[in-house]
Copies of this chain bind each other. A is one copy, B any other.
């Protein structure tokens, strides 16, 4: 996963992978059928990891909203916070680079990743945003939701530029909190710009 993320599929050699894993190169052929099989296995592994981390919390948030114990706005803010934390965590570096590369030229690995965690996460987000922004529907609603998600994605996809713009060299707890809170505040403003926000404001 690390190697594919850093050098891409074509740039990664099975020799280097086998060497880093302390195994023989021929074991890749035996266990995964070849380089491509190993790549797909890495994608599946990433999908399972992210699903395990993110989906339970999102399911709980959705349930709380449906039960009426949590305002949808708060659910969205919490969900975005969780996604931002994941993107800002250094452990997400390998798989994030893998997914970003795969998105530039999506293949079967992307199909699996999307179905595994992107689809359920984004659909939950669209539904929740739809509850708050009742003035929107269809593609307009989805466009607003992707904007919110986009702020989080850019934390990884354009990390190098973001760090320089923010004028930071290391990503510590303080920096993470500042970024997460800014994204959450931006999202709250977007959600409150709908009819409900206007009514209850000032």
* Residues of A near any B CB (own CB < 8 A): 5-12, 97, 100-106, 110, 114, 118-119, 122, 126, 139-140, 142-155, 157-162, 164-168, 175, 178-179, 181-183, 185-186, 188-190, 192-193, 198, 201-202
Contact = CB atoms under 8 A, between A and B. Distances in A.
A153 B139 CA distance: 19
Given A103-B158, A145-B165, A186-B186, 11 more contacts: A10-B12, A118-B164, A139-B175, A139-B178, A143-B166, A143-B183, A146-B154, A147-B182, A149-B154, A153-B154, A190-B190
A8 B158 CA distance: 16
Contacts of A139: 166-168, 175, 178
Contacts of A118: 161, 164-165
A190 B186 contact: yes
A202 B183 CA distance: 24
A39 to B, nearest CB: 13
A114 B164 contact: yes
Oligomeric state, in number of copies?
Answer: 2
A150 B156 CA distance: 10
B186 A144 contact: yes
A89 to B, nearest CB: 16
A161 to B, nearest CB: 5
Nearest to A9: B11
A154 B152 CA distance: 9
